[in-house]
Structures are given as structure tokens and as C-alpha cells.
Amino acid sequence: MNVQFYPGERRDIVAAWGLLSVAFTFFIIRASPYTLIPRPTVPLSYLATVFGSTLATVGVGFLAHELAHKLTAVRFGQDAVFRADYTMLGLAVVGGLAGFLFAAPGAVHHRGYITPREHGLIAVAGPVVNLALVVGFFPLLFAGGVLGATGQLGVTINGLLAGFNMIPFGPLDGATVRRQWGTAGFAAVFIVCAGTAVASLLFVGFPF
């Protein structure tokens, strides 16, 4: 399979990965015990640990999600390109600083003839990859230390990414799946993704 990256696409992917990781780093630090003390006393080692963990979990979860859309679209003969939304990325960083977060870093746009089944598969590919990452990060939960914390964040973030993107609203993947596959097909995927999101949040949670 010949996967083509269009001018500016690699830049958009790297920028979205980095800025989204920065936004989540700010958000996590705001929610951590260090928010109870003056910001200059936040240890740099803690900041580096959180940023490294978000790059490996939030960043990888986002990157794998979008590349899954792109690769699946290309597999079905589509022209597909990721474009970052720098306005939303900027709002994500500001929101992380303020203690809240809504992440919509961009999207894969594709064109060409496809069947409803193929269109649904392109949409569902992102959440399915996030489910696979939940499984991949899960063994790290038992490692302890920074590695265990990274596994915990990886499970929770990817579980939430899978569940959130399957909401049948607006431009989210769930809306596309429901339109292409109908309510029954959508419900089968949604139950798995939403169930994983709830279980990840309730039984694993955030480490920082």
C-alpha cells in the first residue's frame, strides 16, 4: 500500500502531537497537588515526567487514531490527508492552563468513491486503534514507578478517546458510523468503546 503524505501534512501531525501533549501537561499539572503551592516551586523533574508521559500516551493515542483513519482510507483507494486545526490546538493549550480541556486537534479529510461499509470502517478505525492501545498499555500498570504511571495514563486516555470519538454528534466518528451503518451497527461499536471509557476512568483513572 502506497501511503502519500501531502505538503505540510507531516508538519501538521507533529505540531498537533506536540501541542496536544503540552495542553494535557498543563491540565494534569493544574489538577495535581502542585497546584496548591506557587508555580515556581513545581519541580522540573515532575514537569518533564508529565510531558514525557503525555507525549507517549495522549500524543501516541492521537497520532495512531488519525493515522488509522488515513491508512484505512488509502486502503480503500481514497486520497486522504490530515490537517491540524491550529485554532482548536491553541484553545486546548489555553484551556489546559486554565484547568479545563477540550481537544479537537484536527481531522483526516478523504475523498473518492467508497461504499457505506468502507466509509464506516474508515470512521471506526480510529477508535478501534485506541482500544488496541488500551490493551497495549495495560501490562505497564503493574510495572510501578514512572512506567506504571505512564501505563495508567495510557489506558485511561485511550479508553476516553475511544469512547468520546464514538459519540454520535457533529463531526465525531460515531456520527459517521451511525449514518453509514445504521443504529444497530453503530450501537455494537459504541457499547464496546463507551464501556471501555467508563471502565478505564472508574477502575484505572489518572496517575498524577
Instruction: Cite the active site residues.
Output: 66
Local structure of 85: helix, strand or coil: coil
Spatial distance between the Cα atoms of 95 and 54, rounded to a whole number of angstroms: 16
Sequence-ordered strand ranges (E) for the chain: 79-84, 106-111
- List helix spans (H) across 5-144: 9-31, 44-54, 60-75, 86-98, 116-137
Three cell numbers, residue 32: 495535581
What nine digits make up the cell of 79?
486520497
